[in-house]
Structure 1
């Protein structure tokens, strides 16, 4: 019996609802914090993004670079110590190789970013800040996600 199975067997069966509520509250608070950081760091600012694309300011490159470093550290830690809250191991599978998926995905992402003026990450943050035209961006993102699901089998992966 593994350590995770022993912990699951030792835990009372009726603790799942409060544990789930605590987890959801944690995710909500982390999301609100992340949204606040995006707004305060101006990562959701159309002007900052335009400055980045025009190479007029280092601000966004610094933010993106710090996000890449944070992601690298997080993936290292997940691969090394990754467990769910119940103790089950998290498996991070390697990405498939091939250039088509990255070229076409990057083009689709870049065109959407250019048309909307923001990447998809801060859509809800901007809605929360009262930028109501982001409803059009959200609807377009959902439509694009649906279209991908429909055409996935015919796309180069």
Structure 2
């Protein structure tokens, strides 16, 4: 990747992250108490925030995946990646849900939460890194010597 293309790629990621974080902060979804209220079905505001995001993003993904064109920054073909429902998806989803319920915030919003002054959330973010690293270690240990044992991440 050329230097100018890499700069454009990184700039796009930073702008996307800034808008994502600002949107989470502005909507109040970076506050764990708001997210916990949603999980307890007391405040369904998160549902409307997610619905608004889907309404903006879904048409773009729908159209982009049918053009046969390549992404301007990565050069990859736009395509849908489907993951089959298997044991790893169910167990991983359940563990993710427990972590979401205990911390009161999902991973993306955890970063935004630090941005609005919720500094104890740094411990939760550190826990996410340790958990992801631990999962990687377990997966590599359970892989067969020829590399065909454990499924790979998509």
TM-score (norm 1): 0.75
Partner of 2:9: 23
Equivalent position of 1:34 in the other structure: 20
- Unaligned runs of 5+ residues in structure 2 are 144-149
Query: In the alignment, is residue 127 of structure 1 matched against residue 122 of structure 2?
Result: no
More helix by share: 1
Aligned to 2:127: 140
Distance between the aligned counterparts of 1:33 and 1:152, measured in 2? 34
Counterpart of 2:98 in structure 1 is: 111
- Looking at structure 2, the residues matched to 32 and 86 of structure 1 have their Cα atoms a distance apart, in angstroms, of 18
2:29 aligned residue: 43
Q: Secondary structure at the match of 1:149?
A: helix
Structure 1, unpaired ranges of 5+: 1-14
SS at match of 2:71: coil
Q: In the TM superposition, what is the alpha-carbon distance from 1:86 to its structure 2 partner?
A: 5.8
Single out whichever of 23-32 and 134-143 deviates more from structure 2.
23-32
The 3 A distance-change label for structure 1 pair 89 and 30 is: closer
Contact 1:78–1:90 (Cα < 8 Å) also in 2:
no
Q: Point out 4+ residue stretches in structure 1 off by more than 6 angstroms.
A: none
The equivalences for 1:3-18 within 5 A come to: 16-18=2-4
Q: Compare CA radii of gyration and give the structure with the larger one.
A: 1
CA RMSD after TM alignment:
2.7
CA distance in 2, matches of 1:74, 1:124: 25
Q: Distance in 2 between matches of 1:144 and 1:17?
A: 34
Tell me which of 131, 139, 145 is aligned to 1:152: 139
